[in-house]
Amino acid sequence: MSGVIVLDKPKGITSQKAVTEVNKIIKAKRAGHTGTLDPFATGVLPICFDKATKLIPYMKNDFKKYEAVIHLGISTDTLDNTGEVTKKCDPGILDKNTIIGAFSKYKGKINQIPPMFSAVKKDGVRLYELARRGIEVERAPREVTINKIELLEFDPPLIRFIVECSRGTYIRVLAADISDDLGCGGHLVELRRISSDGFTIDEAVTIDDIKSGNIELTSLEDVLSHIKEVNVSSNVASQIRLGKQIMRSHIDLNDLPVFEAGDHLKIYENKVLVAITQANVGSSELGEVDDQAIVFKLLRVFN
């Protein structure tokens, strides 16, 4: 039972609760998700089972995509609709061009300050634990990337938009910052993740689908389809499984893919996944290094 299910997470439960509910049905030995969605959010939540849990750091790390809705004129302490109202303000007269202009400030690399209601730790304590006690502390800004942000609909006081962003981006913070720039404040009332870790909402299934048996796990091979493959002999595979690093002498220079130093590579023996590695040298340099040089660093070994 190794593979990935793409869950359409329902509203109102934590990501970990979603994993628990799904694994009550799947009954895998191990299960884990690839990235937290807030309880009020819905959408793509890849859940990995058994051997696939070891692949989470090596899954496709592309931009995540969300569809979201901002309610202008009402600010909350959590920056979403689960919190207490902290301020109300008349948004006045706004038009689509004004909103699109506000969006433009947030394209590319930006700095975000993590919200107090978040799982970030300060001196070993989760920020949300401090926030619930009425304590606010200084937080260091973090750089994130907004690849795309587009207005879908403006139906005052609601702004529906789509955003494509790097891992670690807080859409709640983005929504609050945009609302503040528009001069009226606001909070996030809907958030739906439509793409993450190489999976899309079109592939997602519900918990009811899983209960009915209407599921098909994505295989380890498909999960790692974006990583180039290097084949080794049975003897080398046995050494790798014992934890021995891969030297130049272990590699057949014929039929190698093109890769650069630092790239992740998957090692196979007779169509069986042996390890995930990181290249110490590029494929064009392999013929020039010493036979005893370690060319691929072991990151994860599969027995």
Name the residue ranges covered by the structural domains of the chain. 3-62+198-222, 64-196, 227-301
Q: What is the mean pLDDT of the chain?
A: 93
Mean pLDDT of 107-130: 86
pLDDT of amino acid 116: 80
CATH class of 64-196: alpha beta
Domains 3-62+198-222 and 64-196 share a fold: yes
Q: Are 181 and 173 in contact (CB under 8 A)?
A: no
Q: Which of 52-56, 113-117, 264-268 shows the lowest per-residue confidence on average (mean pLDDT)?
A: 113-117
- For the stretch 2-59, pLDDT in tens is 899 999 999 999 999 999 999 999 999 999 999 889 999 999 999 999 999 999 999 9
**H-state helical runs in 162-229:** 171-181, 207-211, 220-223
Q: Does the predicted TM-score (pTM) go above 0.95?
A: no
- The residues that are catalytic are 38
Q: Which CATH architecture best describes the domain 227-301?
A: Roll (2.30)
Structural domain 3-62+198-222, CATH architecture: 2-Layer Sandwich (3.30)
Q: What is the pLDDT of residue 63?
A: 92
- And the tokens for 101? 């202009």
Backbone angles phi, psi at 61, to 5 degrees: -105, 60
Q: What is residue 247's predicted lDDT score, i.e. its pLDDT?
A: 92
CA distance 99 to 295: 51
pLDDT category of residue 188 using cuts at 50, 70 and 90: very high
Q: Which long-range contacts (CB under 8 A, 24 or more apart) does 241-246 make?
A: 241/274, 241/301, 241/303, 243/298, 243/301, 245/294, 245/296, 245/297, 245/298, 246/277, 246/294, 246/295, 246/296, 246/298
pLDDT-based confidence at residue 114 (cuts at 50, 70, 90):
confident
Q: At residue 144, does pLDDT exceed 80?
A: yes
